Chains A and B, each alone.
Chain A
Amino acid sequence: MIPEGMRDVLPGEAAELHAIETVLRARFAAYGYGEVRTPILEFAETLELADDDTLGGGYRLFDDQGRELMLRTDMTVPVARLAAARYRDRPLPLRFFYVGGSFRPWAPQRSQDGEFLQAGVELLGAASAEADAECVILLCDVLRAAGLSEYRVTLNTMAFPTALVDTLGLAADDREALLEALADRDYPLLETIAANSDVGDEALKALQATLALGGTRDSLAQARKLATTPAMEAAIDRLVRVRDLVAEADFDDTVTFDFGLFQDLTYYTGMIFEAWAPGVGLPVASGGRYDELPARFEWEVPGVGFAIALDRLRDALEEAECLPAVSPAPLAFAGGFDEPARLAELRRAGLAVVALPADASPPPPLLLRRDGGRYVLELADLTRVEGPWREVLRTLELE
C-alpha cells in the first residue's frame, strides 16, 4: 500500500523518463541555465510567502523542535528563496533550471497527483519582453528536442483582462462577476453580465470577438482593437514583441494567443503561457512572469519561468509514438555466474549482461550460453541468431 496519489515507476517507464530528462537538461544547459537542487522539505512559512492557496496547501509535518515543515508544492518558490539568499549580490540576470518532484494533496477531481515530476527554468533579474521571449523559445526548443512535433504554446498576459475590464466602466459588483466569469471560462454568463450593465455594444462585441478567437494567431490583432488605454496597448505591444522574437527563432507556427487563458497560481503578474499536445488533457507545460514573488524574500527582482510536467510530456510522446529509444534488454548469459572474467570482458565491450545460472529457466528472449568449447547465442525458441550481438562475440573471439 502507498498513499493515494503516489505511484511507483517501473524500469521501462523510468528509463523513458530518464531519457527525456537527459534531453531537457542538455537544452537548458545550452541556454546557459545552471541546475539547482533544493530540499524536498521547506519551512511551511517559506511556501506560505507565495500567498497562494494551492502552494500553501501542501503536506505538513513537524520537525523535532516543533517547527512546521512542508513538502515543497512547486519549484518556483524554492528557487526564488534560494536565489534571494545566495545570489543577492551577483550580476543579473540569473538562470536556473531544476528537475524534481513536488507534492500536493491528492485531488483527483482536479487531476492533481500527490507527487508530480517537473523540469523547468527560472530567469531572474530580467524584466524585458526579450526575457519573456527567451522562455517561450526555450520551451518550444526543448519540446521539439524531446520529440514532440504537434504541440502548441498558447500565450496570454495577466495585464490585459484586468485592464480591459477596468475600461468597461462597470459597477464594482459587475466587475467582480465579470472577472469571475472570465476566469471560469463561462462566456454566456459573461455576455449576460455585460448586456445587463451599461457596457457599450461595441465594447461587448470586441470582447466577444477576442475571446472567440482564443487559440488562434488572429486574436492578438483582435485584442489590439480592444486596447483603449496605454496600459492595454503596452500589454499588447509586449506580446507582439514576444511573438516577433519567437518567429525569428523559427517557432512562429507553434505559438497562438488566448485571452481567455488563466492559470491557477496567483503569483503571475505578466505574460502567462501553456503548452499543449494532442491526446493529453492537461497542459504539458505552463509558466509565466512573476515579478513580485522574489520581493516576498526581500529581493526586488523580476522573474519569469516555466515548468514542464514530465509525466504529461511522456504521455504526449507516447501518444505521438515518438518516445525516446531506450537501451535494448540486457544480454542474458546462462552460466555467467560461474565466469566473472568473461562477464567483465563482455561488459567492457559495451554490452549489458545479466548473469544467470547455467540451467536458467525459463530461457530469456536472447540467451548466451556455452555449448561445449564455444559460446552460442540463442533465441527463446532455441534458434540461433545472427546480427550485431554476433559481431560483438566474434570480436571478442568467443565464437
Chain B
Amino acid sequence: MTLRVGLEPQPQLEAVLGLLATAGLPVAALRGLHQPGVVEADGVTWVRASGADLLACCEGGVLDLAVVGKELLLEHEPDVFELLDLRVAAARLVFAAADGACEGRRGRLRVATRFPRVTARFFAAGGLQVQPVRLTSAATLAVSLGLADGVVELDTVVTAAALPGLARRETVARCGARLVAGRAARSLRGADIAALLARLRELLEHR
C-alpha cells in the first residue's frame, strides 16, 4: 500500500516540497496538481487540500502523513502525532490593531480571525475577554470595513500593504510547517514513517 501524504497549498509549498524531495519522496507529481485533489506516483499518494481538511483525513485514518501550519494545530487541536518542525514556512501568529483601537473601545474588543479558539485562549490568558469574529479568509479586510478592531493572523498575511496603519503587534504563537501523522498510521505504517522521519531529521541537522 502506498504512503498517503497530504500537503496544503501554502505560499511556502516549494520549500516543503524541496525538503521532501531531498528526503527521497517523488514530489514531481504533486507539482502538477493545482486544485485540491489526489495524485499517485512511485509509491506515494499525494493529497492536496486545505490544512484543516488534511487534519480531518489524518484523524479519519485515510491519510498517513501531512504537512500543515502549526497555527492549524493550535486552532483545531487534532488527535494526531506532531512529529517534526520542518523549519520552513516559519511565521508568527500575531495580534495586530491600529494604535489606540484597543484603548479607545469601551465594549468588548472585536478581533477578526481564522483562529477563534487560539484568539480566545490568548486574550483569556491575559485576563481580557474579546469577541472573536470568525472569518475564513478576509480577516484583514474586516478591520478596514469596521467589522473588527484588530486581527489575529500570520505576520506573513498581515503585511503593511494588507493592513495600512496597523501598528500594534503582539506575538500570539510561533508557527511553521509541521509534519504530522495520524494515530492509525502511527500503528499501521510505523516503520515507513520512522524511516522518513530519520531522513528528514538528518537533513535538518545538516542544514
CB of B128 within 8 A of chain A?
no
**A212 touching B186, Cβ below 8 Å:** no
Nearest Cβ distance between residue A253 and chain B, in whole angstroms? 12
Asked if B59 and A214 sit within 8 Å, CB to CB, the answer is no
CA distance A258 to B84 in the complex (A): 16
| Least CB distance, B164 to chain A, in whole angstroms | 34
Instruction: Give chain A residues whose Cβ lies under 8 Å from the Cβ of B187.
Output: 152, 154, 215, 256, 258, 274, 276
Instruction: Evaluate contact between B201 and A212: CB separation under 8 angstroms.
Output: yes
**Of A188, A217, A218, A278, which is within 8 A of B188 by CB?**
A278
The A/B interface has a contact count, at CB < 8 Å, of 84
* Cβ-defined contact, A216 with B194, below 8 A: yes
Q: What are some 17 contacts across the A-B interface (CB < 8 A)?
A: A152-B190, A185-B80, A185-B82, A187-B81, A187-B83, A187-B84, A188-B85, A212-B201, A215-B188, A216-B190, A218-B194, A258-B190, A280-B184, A281-B60, A281-B61, A282-B61, A282-B183
Say whether A186 faces chain B, with CB atoms less than 8 Å apart: yes
A214/B186 in contact, CB under 8 A: yes
B188 touches A276 (CB 8 A): yes
Is A213 an interface position by the 8 A CB rule?
Answer: yes
Interface residue? B110 (CB, 8 A) = no
The reply to whether the CB of A260 lies closer than 8 angstroms to some CB of chain B is yes
Contact with B along A190-211 (1 / 0, CB 8 A): 0100000000000000001000
Distance (Å) between the CB of A326 and the closest chain B CB? 25
Tell me whether A279 is interfacial, beta carbon within 8 Å. yes
Contact A214 B178 (CB under 8 A): no
Q: Provide the bound-state CA to CA distance between A110 and B183, in Å.
A: 14
CB distance from A213 to the nearest CB of B (A): 5
C-alpha gap A265/B75 in the complex (Å):
24
B167 shortest CB reach to chain A, Å: 30
Give the distance to chain B from A191, nearest Cβ to Cβ, in Å: 8
Q: Bound state CA distance, A208 and B79, in angstroms? A: 20
Q: Given the known inter-chain contacts A186-B82, A187-B81, A188-B178, please indicate yes or no for A215 contacting B61, CB distance below 8 A.
A: no
B197 touching A152, Cβ below 8 Å = no
Per-residue CB contact flags for chain A residues 241-269 toward chain B (1 = under 8 Å, else 0) read: 00000000000000010101000000000
How many angstroms between the C-alpha atoms of A214 and B82 in the bound complex? 12
Residues on the B chain within 8 Å of A281, using CB: 59-62, 182-184
Given A185-B80, A215-B191, A215-B194: A279 touches B62 (CB 8 Å cut-off) = yes
Smallest beta-carbon distance A320→chain B, Å: 12
For the complex formed, measure the closest distance between the CB of A214 and the CB atoms of chain B, giving whole angstroms. 6
